[in-house]
A and B are shown apart, each in its own frame.
Chain A
């Protein structure tokens, strides 16, 4: 069965600090897809990134970077030089089906960036 674990329930840092959100997944499939979503206070989940299991390259997008390691079944998310606007709940998710028909979400990590 597939499962996603985000062990960090809440993280609080001071602005400009770097912060890493952990995501560990379980799946028996060799083909799967991993996602990160951001949920700001407005409530609407915002898509951040999708990775398939055959692409282990790390990705960087501005201050955001993702580290995918199949050896440890992890897909961690790092925010560099955090800003107050990064405060949100972040979800990691897994799909074993192409097209992301069914996503399994982690519990979410609430990130608070203090000025």
Chain B
């Protein structure tokens, strides 16, 4: 079974803090993704990575950065957290293009509150 784990289920940070959200997958997937989930808006893609050290902006990258130094790990960084970044953050991974089973597998999410 594919397993995607996220470092924290719940996180509370103060405005202006630097925040790291960590995601690890154990199935050697090439692609990894970060989404945020807000009521009424569904899931929106922040960043994704299709290889180590590679990244591409999603639909809402402002205020976020990412890091992928190892294939299994994808980090989301909030350089200076703001209250409008209070949200549920979901990590996902998938196999590369050209494979048959390329659905995304999701982690349990991190509920971040910025006060």
Docked Cα-Cα span, A98 to B94, in Å, equals 12
Interchain CA distance A4-B96 in the complex, whole Å: 24
What 4 pairs across the A-B complex have the smallest Cβ distances?
A99-B97, A45-B106, A105-B42, A105-B43
Residue of B nearest to A110 (CB): B39
Chain A residue nearest to B94 (CB atoms) is A100
- In the assembled complex, 14 residue pairs joining A and B whose CB atoms fall closer than 8 Å, in A order, are A9-B40, A37-B106, A43-B9, A44-B107, A45-B90, A45-B92, A47-B104, A98-B98, A99-B97, A99-B99, A101-B50, A101-B97, A103-B45, A107-B42
Task: Say whether A98 contacts B97, CB under 8 Å.
Answer: yes
Count of A interface residues, CB-CB < 8 Å:
25
Contact size range, B: 20 to 34
- Measured CA separation A107–B58 after assembly (Å): 17
Our pick among B42, B95, B107 for the contact of A91 (Cβ within 8 Å) is B42
Main secondary structure of the interface of A (DSSP, over half): loop
Given known A-B contacts A100-B94, A101-B48, A102-B58, A43 and B42 have beta carbons under 8 A apart: no
CA distance A102 to B94 in the complex (A): 11
Tell me the interface secondary structure of chain B in the complex: loop
**Interface residues in chain B, defined as those with a beta carbon under 8 Å from any beta carbon in chain A:** 9, 31, 35, 40-45, 48, 50, 58, 88, 90, 92, 94-99, 102-109
Complex interface bits, A91-114 against B, C-beta within 8 A gives 1, otherwise 0: 101000111111101111000000
Within 8 Å CB of B44, what residues of A? Answer: 105
**CB <8 Å contact, A99 and B31:** yes
- Beta-carbon contact of B103 and A101 below 8 Å: no
Identify A100's interface contact among B35, B40, B103, CB under 8 A: B103
* Among B9, B31, B42, B108, contact of A101 (Cβ-Cβ < 8 Å): B31
A70 adjacent to chain B (CB < 8 Å):
no
19 further interface pairs, Cβ-Cβ under 8 Å (given A9-B40, A43-B88, A99-B94): A4-B42, A37-B106, A43-B108, A44-B106, A91-B43, A97-B97, A98-B97, A98-B98, A99-B31, A99-B97, A99-B102, A100-B94, A100-B102, A101-B97, A102-B45, A105-B35, A105-B42, A106-B42, A107-B42
